[in-house]
């Protein structure tokens, strides 16, 4: 069975910012018309604009049930977030919405653990191995790379390679909760080792130390306990 791709054009941060802010005060039906009007200046083609709206809605509006509560909390605090914190929440929501984006991010994260420069060819080859050697996979890989480049997650190097940008430090306990919810959602699990969550390749652009005391205080969110002598586990309640 062919795996779906879906991520077929570049997504810009200011489009995501606008979508998040508007989704707090408008219905899902209203959002389509609002985004169509907003995007006309940047995306003139009707088909491309429709695709962009579909992607933005999937990232911030049509989210999985297990993320709705934390998304609402994130949106409530969105205007107080720094630019870096907004980047982080967009990253989380995008990797949940688009498994293809998640897989590209994971591949970058794994490779950056062992090398400084990563070629676009190696990423493209890996995605074709996983999703099939077809034109749509090429388009989607390019779209993810262009998006990550526009977000300043990766920076161009020599000979069509990319380097990791400086890591963004995240110390907001709410965003630590979002990180855990994101990982548990994409891993389709109720539990995760704290060490795995802290060093997961999906979050290679960011640096953080999970605030376990604050996570414990969150009502009906997480249970944190030891398994054996060294293994600390977070479990979704």
Q: Give the residue-averaged pLDDT of 85-97.
A: 98
pLDDT at 125 (0 to 100): 95
Task: State pTM to two decimals.
Answer: 0.95
pLDDT at 122 (0 to 100): 95
pLDDT at 4 (0 to 100): 82
List pLDDT tens digits, range 41-64. Answer: 999 999 999 999 999 999 999 999
List pLDDT tens digits, range 153-177. Answer: 999 998 889 999 999 999 999 999 9
pLDDT over 70 (residue 1): no
Q: Who contacts 179 (Cβ-Cβ below 8 Å, separation ≥6)?
A: 92, 170, 197, 203, 208, 210
pLDDT at 141 (0 to 100): 96
Contact between 198 and 210 (Cβ < 8 Å)? yes
The residue written with tokens 């990563």 in the block is 118
pLDDT-based confidence at residue 142 (cuts at 50, 70, 90): very high
pLDDT at 192 (0 to 100): 94
């Amino acid at each position: 069975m062919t795996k779906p791709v879906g991520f077929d054009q570049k997504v810009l941060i200011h489009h995501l910012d606008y979508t998040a802010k508007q989704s707090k005060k408008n219905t899902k039906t209203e959002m389509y018309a609002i985004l169509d009007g907003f995007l006309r200046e940047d995306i003139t083609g009707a088909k491309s604009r429709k695709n962009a709206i579909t992607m933005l809605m999937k990232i911030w509006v049509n989210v999985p049930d297990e993320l709705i509560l934390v998304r609402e909390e994130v949106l409530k605090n969105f205007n107080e977030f720094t630019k870096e914190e907004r980047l982080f929440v967009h990253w989380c929501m995008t990797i949940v919405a688009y498994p293809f984006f998640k897989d590209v991010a994971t591949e970058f994260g794994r490779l950056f653990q062992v090398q400084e420069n990563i070629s676009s060819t190696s990423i493209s080859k890996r995605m074709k191995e996983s999703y099939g050697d077809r034109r749509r996979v090429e388009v989607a890989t390019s779209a993810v790379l262009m998006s990550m480049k526009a977000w300043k997650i990766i920076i161009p190097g020599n000979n069509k390679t990319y380097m990791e940008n400086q890591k963004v430090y995240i110390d907001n306990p709410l965003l630590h909760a979002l990180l855990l919810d994101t990982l548990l959602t994409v891993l389709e699990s109720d539990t995760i080792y704290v060490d795995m969550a802290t060093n997961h390749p999906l979050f290679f652009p960011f640096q953080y130390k999970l605030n376990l005391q604050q996570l414990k205080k969150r009502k009906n969110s997480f249970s944190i306990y030891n398994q054996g002598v060294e293994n600390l586990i977070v479990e979704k309640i």
